[in-house]
Amino acid sequence: MSKRVQVSMRLEHARRDYYRRLAKEQGYKSRAAYKLLEIDNSFHIFKKGQKVLDIGCYPGGWLQVASSKVGRTGLVIGIDIRRVDYKASNVKLIEASVEDDGLIDKLYSILNNSKVDLILSDISPNLSGVWSLDHARQIHLSSRVLSIADSLLISNGSAVLKVFDGDMLKDFISKVKSMFTRVHIYKPRSSRKESSELYLVCLGYKHVNV
């Protein structure tokens, strides 16, 4: 291994450790909170009083950020197949999968048949280690999130979708671009350098059926 590679690896470990320590010091449940904070600093996706759907919310770092950003007059609904240990007056949690047939009805019930201003998705499949399979599973889950957006996102609303880079991404981005006025591909500084994860910051929902 070359010295340059060794130095790069040390720098990457130091960066990861920095965000882990920072999350612990500032009370965030995960270093992923800083990814969402970076996205908001760049694109200003949050406003006070918004209704937000956080899909794949475990362990709760994005919930914390969203709860703080929308304030007491807002609402954040977190969804995950795992139990999330987080409580706030403006947060409601649903233990469910995005593939559950009854999920939309549950959400409409919580929302009193209204819609949300912003959908966040940091969703990932259980990784198998076979990249082509993991990539396909992640795109499938993100496509399910788009279906939820088609039912629940207000006109001109926004979404942030995590995706894995791979062969299926180009077609998925084309689908997203057909639904939103603007789509930005973004990689936060707090993401691991070697990670293939990217975020699609989608603005101006056009109500096009998926």
- What confidence tens digit (pLDDT) does each residue in 195-205 have? 789 999 999 99
Question: Which of 27-60 are b and which e, b meaning 16 or more Cβ less than 10 Å from the residue's Cβ?
Answer: ebbbbbbbbbbbbbeebebbeeebbbbbbbbbbb
pLDDT at 145: 97
Q: How many CB atoms lie within 10 A of CB 95?
A: 12
Cis peptide before 59 (omega within 30 of 0): yes
Tokens, residue 186 = 């973004």
Instruction: Report the C-alpha gap between 128 and 34 in whole angstroms.
Output: 26
Residue 18 pLDDT: 66
Dihedral of the alpha carbons of 111, 113, 117, 118, in degrees to the nearest 10: 60
Can you name the CATH fold of 29-205?
Rossmann fold (3.40.50)
Q: Is 62 left (phi over 0), alpha (psi -120 to 50) or beta?
A: alpha
Mean pLDDT, to the nearest integer, of 16-32? 69
For residue 4, pLDDT beyond 60: no
Question: What residue spans of 81-206 are helical by DSSP H?
Answer: 103-110, 131-152, 169-179
Catalytic residue among 35, 51, 69, 162: 162
Mean pLDDT value across residues 9-17 = 49
For the entire predicted model, the pTM comes to 0.88
pLDDT category at 15 given cuts 50, 70, 90 is low
| Mean pLDDT of the 76-103 span | 96
Q: Quick one: how far is CA 150 from the chain centroid? A: 17
Does the annotation count 206 as an active-site position?
Answer: no
Distance of CA 68 to the CA centre of its chain: 16
Cβ atoms of 65 and 34 within 8 Å: the answer is no
Rounded to the nearest angstrom, the gap between the alpha carbon of residue 59 and the centroid of all alpha carbons in its chain is: 12
Q: What is the pLDDT of residues 118-174, one digit of tens each?
A: 999 999 988 888 888 999 999 999 999 999 999 999 999 999 999 999 999 999 999
